[in-house]
Each structure stands twice: as C-alpha cells, then as structure tokens.
Chain A
Amino acid sequence: MTITEPELRTTATTWEPVCDLKRLTPGRGVAALVDGAPVALFHLGEGETFAIGNVDPFSGASVLSRGIVGDVDGVPTVASPIYKQRFDLRTGRSIDDETVAVSAYDVRVVDGICEVRPGGTLP
C-alpha cells in the first residue's frame, strides 16, 4: 500500500487560522486547505479537536473529514466513508492496517478560532 499523502513538510512554527470552532459540528469533521494541503479537522465536543490528512490512502479520495468518528477501546477514530478503514485521530495511523498512515497535524483553539500548524507528521 502506498501512502498518497502530500510529501512531508518540515513542521512550521507558525499557526494557520482555519475557521470558527462553531463551523464544526461536534462528532463530525470538515475539510480545510492548510498551506495547500487537504486536512480533515474534527471536533469531538468540549473543545477537543484533532486534525489529520484528508486523503484516504486506501481509496485515494479526499474524504476522511466526511467519515464517522468514534472510538476503538478508547482511542478516538474516524472511519473512511469509502471502504470503512479506521484511523487513529491522534497519530493518523490506520487501526486496520498498521503499515498505513496519514499525517497528523497540531490543532489549537484561540479565541474561538481553530488553528492548524501546517506540515503534519507521519507516525
């Protein structure tokens, strides 16, 4: 399985504001372009946010933001809407195939605005 993430960038020191936290439905994701890279941003409620690469490596489609979030033994996950493989929201690693992963991005909420640090890291 090849990983079709955009090539790894060095982690930036600046943060990029993405959207108002209110745009995020708790328990769902949205997609954003962060420094040109498609990123899936999730809000699990009570300010808990995660961001991982949006491109599903199993299908090549830019869709992970549209998956269903949940947990596997307490690990927060999203399941790709295409073939249902699950990814660890904290690290980007696939739960169903440990050799596959997407990048994970740092996220923070400042004054109600979600900010993402460009250039994610692969686990």
Chain B
Amino acid sequence: MSSIPTQRGDRTTGSRPTVLVVGNGMVGHRFVEAAIERGLSSTHRIVVVGEERRQAYDRVHLSALFDGFTPADLALAEPNLYDEAGVEAILGETVDRLDTAAHLAVTSSGREITYDACVIATGSAPFVPPIPGTDAAGSFVYRTIDDLEAIRHWAAGCRTGAVVGGGLLGLEAANALRLLGLETTVVEFAPRLMAVQLDDGGGRALLHHVEGLGVSVRTGAAAAAVRTTPDGRVAGLSFSEGEDLDAELVVFAAGIRPRDQIARDSGLEVGERGGVIIDDRCATSAEDVYAIGEVANHAGKVYGLVAPGYAMADVVAARLAGEEAAFTGSDTPTKLKLLGVDVASVGDPQAVGDEVVVSDPRTGTWKKVVVDAAGNVAGAVLVGDVDAYPLLVQAVRGSIPTPDLLSLLQPASGEAGSGPADLPDEAIICSCHNVSCGTIRKAVDDGCETVADVKGCTKAGTGCGSCVSLIGELVDARLIAAGKTVEKRLCPHFELSRPELYEVVRATGIRTFAELVTKHGTGTGCEICKPVAASIFASLGSGYILDGEQAGLQDSNDHFLANIQRDGTYSVVPRVPGGEITPAQLIAIGEVARDFDLYTKITGGQRIDLLGARVEQLPAIWGRLIDAGLESGQAYGKSVRTVKSCVGSVWCRYGVQDSVKLAIDLENRYRGLRAPHKIKLAVSGCARECAEAQSKDVGVIATEKGWNLYVGGNGGARPAHAVLLAEDLSTEELVRSIDRYLMWYVRTADRLERTAVWQRKLPGGIDFVRRVVMQDELGIGAELEADMEAHVGAYRCEWTETLESPERLARFVSFVNTDLPDPSVTHVRVRGQRIPETTR
C-alpha cells in the first residue's frame, strides 16, 4: 500500500490536482474504480482515507463469513488495483476536520491533505435505540468484518441470540447468528418483516420461510431494555408489552443513520433527519465537496442500498472527468436473497389501486402487483419467486406497457413466458454497474459471443452476479436474432455439442477417441472433450473404463477411481446403498481408516468419506473394503452418486411405504451410470420428506397409494426445487419412468449440465418432459428402457475389476522409478485426525 507524502498538497503549485475520497466502503471504492476507468488516476492524484484497516469489501454479503467465506473472499478489488493505478490509500485513519474555505482536510493522525475535490463517502452507522443496557457485554451492531469477528468470538459460548430489527440488515444478521448455530429470535417493531419494502401478504410469506429455517420472529414488539446479568453480560431483552426474551447475545440492526458528523462539523448543509444535502451533481453546499452513498441526502431522501450509491459515484467521477452527468433519484427496485428466500420490491407496493395477487401458501410464494387508475403498474412485491422482476421494473418505469399480469405472475414452469427478448433497450440488467439491455445487445453486435465476453467488455454481471443467467439468455437471443449460431461447440476440437456427439457415437458405433476425433473433430483433444467422450462410451456400455485407449481419456479422478484432493491425495467413498450399513461393515470401514490414518467424515449423501490416501495406498485400501462386502461408491465420477432415504414405514410411526428398500433397489439399479453431471436421488417414506427428495435430481415421496415422482432438483450454489412429474405410481411404473428420464437426460444434456437446467431449457419445459416420459410422445420410451437395462446388466464394481488385474494395478504408484511415497504430502493433526499441512 502506498503511503502518502507528508507535505501539503500541490493545489497551488500547478501539478496534478488532488481528489480526496473520504471513506473506503463499497461506494467510496466504486468511485475510485469509476475514476480509474475514466483515466482520472493519470490526470489527478487520488487519495483515499479509510477508517478500517481493510481495503473496501462487500458489506452486502457479510453473513457469508460464517458460511465458509474468508474476508479475502469479500474484497471488492484485486489487492494491487490501487497501487497499479497510483491511487494512494491511507487506511486505519479518519478525516477529522475539513476546512472547506482552504480546501484542507486533516486526518486523525494529523496529516494535512489539500484537495481540489473532496468526495465524502463515509456511509452510515447502525442505529442503536436509546434503551438501557445496549453497552452490556454481548451487545453488538452489524456493519463491519470486525463486528462479525467480535460476534463470532462471543457466540462461541452462547446458545441463544436475538436480533433487533426485521428489515434487510436484521435478517442478514439473523442469518449470521443461525450460521453460528445459535437459537435465533428476530424482534421487529413493525407488524411485519421488511416493513419498508413488503406488504402484509409478502411479510407473511417471508415469515413462513424464515420460521421454516428455525428462526423465531416477534413482530410488533418494542424492545424496552437489554436485560443484563449482575456481571454486566447480556441476558436478553424486555419489552414494553409481553414476555421477556432470553438471549446471551443481542445484535442491533434496526436501521441506519448517515455518518455525517464531518459535514456537520465543517458547516455543510445537513438534512433535518440527517444526511449531507446534495444536488443532482452530488455537490454539497461547500465548493468542490461532494457526497455519495448512504451519507448523502438527495431531494430529502437517504438511500440505504448500494445501487443508488454506485450511481452517485459514477456521476461524480464523470463530472470530474469533464462529462455531463446527473443523479436524478432512484426508484430503488430491490431484489435480493435473504436467508435463501428470493425477495423483490418494485416501485411503491403500498400504492392505492387495483391489486393482482398470486399466492401459494404451500410454497410460500406471494406476488402482488398494484395497478393505478390509469392502468399503469405502480408497484409490486415478489416473495419466493422473482422471475417477473425485470419486466416489472421496466413496467414501473413506464418503458414498457403494462404486461398481462396474470400470465406474468404464474408460477414458474418450463414454459418460457415473456422472455428477456421482450425487454426494451433501456432496461437495466445489471443494477450494480448500471448496464442496460441495449449495452449488452450492442456488445453482442460488436462481437461478444459469450457471457464471459460480455462481462469483460461491459462489467455487467461482475457485481452481485444475480443477473448472469439473464445475460446468458440475452446473448443467446441476440445471436439467434442476428442469424448467428449460438456457440454450443464442446471445445476447440469438436464443433459438435455433447448431445450431438452422443448421437454420433450411438449411431456410428465408434468406440475409440482416436477415430472420433479424426472423423468428427480436429487436433488431438483436450481436458474437456476427452472425458466427455469417455463418459459417452461408458454410458453406451463399453466395458471397463480404464482399458486400452480409454485410460488416456479419463479425468484424474476416474483414472485413479478416487477423488483427488487439494494436496494430491485421494478420498475413498464406499457405496452404502440407501444409507443402510451393517455394524460389521461400519467396523471394517473404521478399521481401514484407522490403519491407513485416513481423515473420516460423514457425507451429505449418507455415506462415509475417507480422505488423505496416497495413490499407492488405494489398491490395499480397496482390497480390504471389498473383502468386507463393500464396493466402489463412484464418488469420483460424473455419475449416479447416492439414493438417500429416511427409515420409512419399517420403523417410523409416520411412514407409509418402505423407503429404505426402494432406495436400495434404485441405487443398485442405477449405480455406475455415467452422465453429463453427477446425479443424486432420494426416497422419503411419507410426506414429511425427511430424505429431502425435492432437492434431488430424482426424488420419490411415498403416498398411501404408491409413489410421487419429482425431477430436476439440486442443492449446491444454485439450488433448484424438483418438479412433480407424476403422482401415485406403482413401483413398476416408477422405475420405468426413472429409467426413461435418466437415460433421456444422459443422451441429450450438455456437458456439466444438471437435470434442473436441462429440463428447463427443453422446448416446452416440464410439460414436455411429462409427455415424453409418462406418455411416450416421442416414441423413444422402449429404446430408453432398453439402454438402461443394458447398463444395469453390464454393471461391475470398478474397483473389483481393477484388483483382479496386475496390469491395471501398475498405475497406482507415486513414482514410476522408486517405491518412496510422495514427499510433498505432509500432514498435521487437528481434532484427533490427520489433515493436509497446507490448509489455507
């Protein structure tokens, strides 16, 4: 980090003019970025003063720190961005005094900085209500990484926590406490959650989701005092009415106040309820002093969201670069994910007018649009399903006519409703960087052909990322409209897509990569096309995957029949069909883990992961596991993984069918099936759904009469709910339907495309899937079933096959010319187990 010379600025000496940025939060940083983009960093000296020692980071996603993110993951810029652009950053200091007449700022360490332009971006501070006890140990606010570190530290000894505030910030804080494992209660003064953005119905739908996550909510509750223990620790909250609440930790997240003290002290005009008053140029009442973000008060309004702050930052940077620009207010449409729930608010949802409401209490969706007397959309609230958001934003802005609201608000189905192709050019797609639909279309016309290209040349999608899939659809639509083909080629060696390649292999009977690439591709292949070809060969039943030429095609995981880990060791996962395991097998696994000193963990798929095996240990480990009656779990492949189950009717007093038996039968049927991506299944024995079948690619839920079949669900980074395909099937009908569904997916999906995306992209969506799988509309049912039967009949445990052949075992060495183990693999012990020494 550059340090600033201590001499005074050069405003009068004719060298580069100085731009002083007070504050290095999200908006202050955005200003620096915008200034660099406009070349101001070469014509101006830019000096940033930030209170925190950390360079700007993403405050919107703070709770991710308790979900596996590190502070570095939240950083907004590459660490050397400022240095490279010559921006001087003074971190860990504040500007304590502004002499606006002399254009002079003085920092907390006594540095004097003479500026030509000063940009105040000090943001806001959490509002802590003036009640007794807020200074007790265990009372926190929620704004900075340091706040979260302090909360994490204190929470270590706690069981219960409370959050005062049920708005955006409060729910984020509640998520943070939940992730820390605390029994969490949200206390909100208003009668509903997110009172500013939502109406009563939306608040109820959100409440349903939040309580479903195990977070308690008290609305209409005014905290009167923080209760404390005799030694001054937080013990809970008391209220003006109602029972006390016990909590060992309290977080105040009940709104924000602009941090405008510096402006007040310097005689700048400040709004009645706070905030530095700015005009459309973002200029304050003092010459050459600007204010942006949550500290600014524009037309009587202080914005508590990042997007308007970014817009202000862009305006000031543009004006300093001599461009015309103005901030004329923001209608602050909001779309975000709170505690995993999509919530959006557009325009004024409390406006008076006719209301169109679509509500489904079972799924917790609430969608309301208010139409004014002239028939225009005045506002909207969406909870649980926000697909209609982009069109509603445009409708509120008046850039498109009022759409057909009932069809717009219909529950998401595979059918494409009003697609992104209908959006007007003015529609803002990326609100973080203010990139319009027209800009993205122009980028495509100018040569961008992929989302990555568009990100690179417009910055769209590089902020919060919520618009990336929309950008993808826009790019495809534009390319098609221009008569260009949408890039579906697998890699530089094959112009064909994966489904096309599958058809070629199926139709021609080609079973070697050399022949495939010679006849239908170019070059010698790569890490993308080789494993795809190997997977297709395997799906079409070409025997042991590591014989002959196929060995060279497999991913490292398939090549060693184990999952490679960050240190080059492997994990071992035996199959545990349906999650049912005998004590003897459990002991055998335990003994192997103990004898080879493997780190042992239970997986989410109801099996056991043994980590840290060196490549030369794998055959001995598997020899013992196979002797104990276990087999390869194929966790290493893009293939069927597990069929999770609950205990079902055999034990459970609520179960209506034997879910364990069905799960075992399904897992033994589909084990080893190689596919475009991993496939997970689950079977629940009753509607309580303990096996979480609706989050699986194939989910089965028992009914009194048979089985309900759900398809296309997944967890992970982009979770998808499975869709009900058919109800009350007999076991025979169920298996036939799954056979067809899975085989059709294996045939026609793109590389690394999971079932959710595949079925959504099919023309006609889930209705089409239903017609093909259940009614055999394409007449391919028998063929798909036959392909599956062939797979089931040909299945053999890959590790059993490997151990039978000394030739196949020869590859399992660390080094080909010595028996020494790999010296680069080193371990430390943590919580009684061995882990890699180089843990980040």
Contact = CB atoms under 8 A, between A and B. Distances in A.
Interface stretch (A7-15, A69-77, A98-106): A69-77
A123 interface: no
Contact of B568 (A28, A62, A74): A62
Contact of A41 (B529, B564, B816): B816
B527 A59 contact: no
Contacts of A28: 551-552, 559
B815 A68 contact: no
Nearest to A36: B823
Contacts of A86: 527
Nearest to A74: B523
A112 B747 CA distance: 43
A93 interface: no
Nearest to A76: B524
A68 B527 contact: yes
A122 interface: no
Nearest to B554: A68
Given A23-B816, A61-B824, A62-B824, A70 B560 contact: no
Of B526, B551, B825, the most chain A CB neighbours within 10 A belong to: B526
Nearest to A86: B527
Interface in B525-563: 525-527, 529-531, 549, 551-557, 559-560
Interface string B790-818: 00000000000000000000110111111
Q: Is the interface of A mostly helix, strand, loop or mixed?
A: strand
B566 interface: yes
A63 B552 contact: no
Contacts of B493: 70-71
B525 A61 contact: no
Contact of A72 (B526, B814, B818): B526
B556 A63 contact: yes
A33 B818 contact: yes
A72 B493 CA distance: 9
A68 B531 contact: yes
Contacts of A81: 555-557, 564
A77 B491 CA distance: 15
A79 B528 CA distance: 10
Interface string B510-534: 0000000000000111110111000
Interface residues of A, number: 36
A55 B822 CA distance: 11
A79 to B, nearest CB: 4
Contacts of A79: 526-527
Nearest to A77: B526
B787 interface: no
Nearest to A30: B816
A111 B141 CA distance: 74
A47 interface: no
Nearest to A26: B552
Interface string A50-87: 00000100011111001111111110110101101010
A109 interface: no
B815 to A, nearest CB: 5
B838 interface: yes
A82 B820 CA distance: 22
Contacts of A69: 524, 552
A3 interface: no
B567 interface: yes
A19 B816 contact: yes
Nearest to A63: B568
A77 B492 CA distance: 14
Nearest to B568: A61
A32 B816 CA distance: 5
Nearest to A84: B527
B567 A31 contact: no
A30 B552 CA distance: 12
A70 B525 contact: yes
Nearest to A34: B817
Contacts of B817: 18-19, 32-33
A67 B527 contact: yes
A82 B566 contact: yes
A19 B813 CA distance: 13
B523 A27 contact: no
A63 B566 CA distance: 10
Given A38-B822, A63-B556, A82-B564, A32 B815 contact: yes
B525 A71 contact: yes
Contacts of A38: 815, 822, 824
Contact of A61 (B549, B553, B566, B813): B566
B816 A67 contact: no
Contacts of B554: 68
Contacts of A60: 567, 824, 838
A73 B492 contact: yes
A52 B100 CA distance: 63
Contacts of B825: 62
Contact of B527 (A23, A25, A63, A70): A70
B559 A66 contact: yes
A63 B822 CA distance: 10
A98 B316 CA distance: 37
Contact of A71 (B523, B549, B566, B824): B523
A70 B530 contact: yes
A102 B10 CA distance: 48
B523 A33 contact: no
A59 B838 CA distance: 10
Nearest to A78: B527
A32 B553 CA distance: 21
Contact of B824 (A55, A67, A76, A77): A55
Nearest to A38: B824
Given A31-B816, A69-B552, 18 more contacts: A25-B551, A30-B816, A31-B815, A32-B815, A33-B820, A38-B815, A59-B568, A60-B567, A60-B824, A63-B556, A66-B560, A68-B552, A68-B553, A68-B556, A70-B523, A70-B526, A81-B555, A81-B557
Interface of B: 492-493, 523-527, 529-531, 549, 551-557, 559-560, 564, 566-568, 810-811, 813-818, 820, 822, 824-825, 838
27 contacts: A18-B816, A18-B817, A19-B817, A23-B816, A26-B552, A27-B549, A27-B553, A28-B551, A31-B814, A32-B815, A32-B818, A33-B817, A33-B820, A38-B815, A44-B524, A59-B566, A62-B568, A63-B564, A63-B568, A68-B530, A70-B524, A70-B526, A79-B526, A81-B555, A81-B557, A82-B568, A84-B527
Interface of A: 18-19, 23, 25-28, 30-33, 38, 41, 44, 55, 59-63, 66-74, 76-77, 79, 81-82, 84, 86
Rank and list the top 4 A-B pairs by shortest CB-CB distance, nearest first. A27-B552, A70-B526, A81-B556, A61-B568
